[in-house]
Structure 1
Amino acid sequence: MRAIVCEEINRLAHRHVDEPVMGDQEALVSIRRIGICGTDLHAYKGNQPFFTYPRILGHELAGVIDQIGNNEAGLQPGDQVSIIPYLHCGQCIACRRGKTNCCVSMQVMGVHVDGGMREQIAVPVSHLVKANGLTLDETAMIEPLSIGAHAVRRSAIQPGDQVVVIGAGPIGLGVMAFAKQAGARVIAVDRNANRLELGRTWAGADELVIAADDAAVRIADLTSGDFATPVFDATGNVQSMNEAIRYVAHGGQLIYVGLVKADIVLHDPEFHKREMEVLGSRNATREDFERVMAVLRGKTLNMDGFITHRARFEELPDFMNRLLLPETQAVKAVVEL
């Protein structure tokens, strides 16, 4: 069976690997679409925490069930599915409290265990979500959009709230879209003007701010001096994450959606005087997947505007290298099988 293996930093290779064996309460799924995300790129470049080599990448997946036993979900061969790639233990304190997205023993496909950048994969039935009626592109995008939906659900957004989202990459765009769904006025912040414009045209952001030295002044002006409740940082950039406090209203929230392999430092007087909440947002839950699927079925989000680059499986790893070039201007890339 064909697979793409990240053998070490800066080295992806086509390899033949063993066919998956379906275990108890598992299904065999043929992979049809693979989204490439920041996690994959960071792993490829050696900047991803919780990662070991070699590893089959890929956790934004759309597939079709090849083989499955009797199951309470009513899934059957031929069903199109999205895969929840966060393999939780079900026993730890987080799982017992329903927070399976931050399981103590979390095994994320494509990070801690081999992922879906291959022709077929064995997946626990509990981690399959039927996606019949959606396109394969929409199905592959459920997982990254669920990250944004989960972050918004973590917040205390009320209709009419002013929200800042820093980072107009795929995750930040998802945060913007679901903040708009919650009725917020969204201010998008990024260094890239093209990505900011996508924040407006695709996610519905109300205001666009270039991430520069005067960004805080601009946000103060846009919010009549109130700043934002909450602020989401989806950059994975330590400088941005350290400075995001500047945009938070008194009594507001700062929610870190991005992940960085570094320490984050908050200036305590600025933190304290705001009586501010600082939250992390990790992965997503089945509830978030179902929320995203409902929105996609309503056709209010257009994947043609979200997916900017695509390639065939055979074109990897050269395709991955092109995505890293600034001139490529990639936002979301998809691999087709």
Structure 2
Amino acid sequence: MKAIVLEKPGQLSLIDVDAPAAPGSDEVLVRVKRVGICGTDLHAFGGNQNFFTYPRIMGHELAVEVVAIGPTDISHDYAVGDTCCVIPYLHCGECIACRRGKTNCCTNMQVLGVHVDGGMREQFIVPVDKLIKADGIPVEHLALVEMLCIGAHAVNRARLQSRETVLVIGAGPIGLATAAFAKAAQADVIMMEINDKRLAFCKEALGIEKTIQPGDDTVPELQKLANGDLPTTVFDCTGNANSMQAAFDYVAHGGSLVLVGHIKGDITFSDPHFHSHEMTLIASRNATRADFEWVINTLRAGQINLTHWITHTATPEEVVEVFPSWRDPATGVVKAMLTFD
């Protein structure tokens, strides 16, 4: 059975592995159809991803088909042959976060493709409660659900109000997902990005007319776009320390800063500035089952058009060669995808 393993930073290999055994109690055997390539995967390839261990079969943005279902008392609505997405966050169910319903930040979190082997292989076993049936959604779009959930969860955390002015920093896939769900929440979205092509994509694919590139005059330029004020909610989706620190300067008095991207090191900020603004600082990590259900319902309702998001694809035989190029924004990559059929 084919699998793609990241042996160490910069070394991706196509290997043969044993096919999985029949699913046990509370397990499901799935056939992988599509794998979205996430910033996590790209950062892991570069050796700068938090929580990642090597060697690792990557892949946590997954569209799968149910092959076999093991014995279970857990209620579910899918059958053999159904198309599903996978919730890749394996939580313990017992820690303080899980007991409070915040399974997305479990103290013992194991994420498929990060802490444990993921879905860049033809078949694998997943827990029965980590699938969501999604018949009727194209498999290409289904493999984007987890990515969209990161943005949806961040927007949920921010509790946006209709017509609120929002700044999203970083027009990578997570930034695009955040912007899409901020728009769905009826916010007035401004997108900040250094790459011209990605700003153009925001206008063409998401209909975001207010865009800005960071520079020496960022604050006054933002004020022009926000009717003289600054955004009341800022999402930083870059995973870049300099950007995350600069984002504190873009938040209106009484506003919120949501850090969606994360880094290995520390960030610093001015306490007088932070306190004078009575700023709310929010971390957003992973997503919950409710986020997945919201995203799937949003896609079924046609509220987000994903037609132009997938710009690059590869088969298992091709991915080892082309994967490094997907780290380069100059290639025009928005979202890359691995296809298994």
State TM-score, norm by structure 1: 0.98
Q: In the alignment, is residue 5 of structure 1 matched against residue 5 of structure 2?
A: yes
Contact 1:90 1:100 in 2 (8 A): yes
Mean alpha-carbon deviation: is it higher for 321-330 or for 48-57?
Answer: 321-330
* Match of residue 131 from structure 1: 134
How many corresponding residue pairs?
337
For residues 30 and 292 of structure 1, the distance between their equivalents in structure 2, rounded to whole angstroms, comes to: 22
> Offset of 1:216 from its aligned partner?
1.5
| Superposition deviation, residue 262 in structure 1 | 1.6
Distance 2:237 2:107 in 1: 23
- 2:143 counterpart residue number: 140
Question: Is 2:190 aligned against 1:187?
Answer: yes
Q: Identify the residue that residue 231 of structure 1 maps to in structure 2.
A: 234
Q: Find the counterpart in structure 1 of residue 64 from structure 2.
A: 63
Shift of 1:205: 2.1
2:296 partner letter: M
After TM superposition, list the pairs within 5 Å mapping 1:264-283 onto structure 2: 264-283=267-286
Query: Shift of the alpha carbon at 1:310?
Result: 0.9
Other-structure match for 1:104:
107
CA–CA distance in 1 between the matches of 2:26 and 2:325? 39
Q: Using the alignment, how far apart are the partners of 1:324 and 1:138 within structure 2?
A: 21
User: 1:226 deviation in Å?
Assistant: 1.9
In structure 1, what is the equivalent of residue 80 of structure 2?
Answer: 77
TM-fit CA distance, 1:269 = 1.2
Is 1:246 matched up with 2:237? no
Deviation at 1:219?
0.5
Give how far 1:211 is off: 1.8
Q: Which runs of 5+ in 1 are unaligned?
A: none
Q: CA RMSD in A?
A: 1.1
The one-letter code of the counterpart of 1:24 is S
Give the match for residue 310 of structure 1: 313
SS of 2:338's equivalent?
Answer: strand
| 1:215 corresponds to which of 196, 207, 218 | 218
2:15 maps to a residue whose letter is: R
Shift of 1:29: 0.4
Per the TM alignment, residue 26 of structure 1 is displaced from its structure 2 partner at its CA by 0.8
**One-letter amino acid of the structure 1 residue matched with residue 53 of structure 2:** T
1:28 paired residue number: 29
CA distance in 2, matches of 1:68, 1:59: 20
- TM-score between both structures, scaled by the size of structure 2: 0.96
Contact 2:14 2:316 in 1 (8 A): no
Tell me how far 1:319 sits from its aligned partner.
1.6
**Is the deviation greater in 21-30 or in 136-145?**
21-30
Q: Secondary structure at the match of 1:186?
A: strand
Gaps of 5+ in 2: none
Instruction: Say whether the 8 Å CA contact 2:184–2:303 is kept in structure 1.
Output: no
Query: 1: distance between equivalents of 2:104 and 2:53?
Result: 20
Is the deviation greater in 248-257 or in 219-228? 219-228
Identity %: 51
Which one is further off, 298-307 or 121-130?
Answer: 298-307
The equivalent residue for 2:38 is 37
Structure 1 residue 128: Cα displacement = 0.2
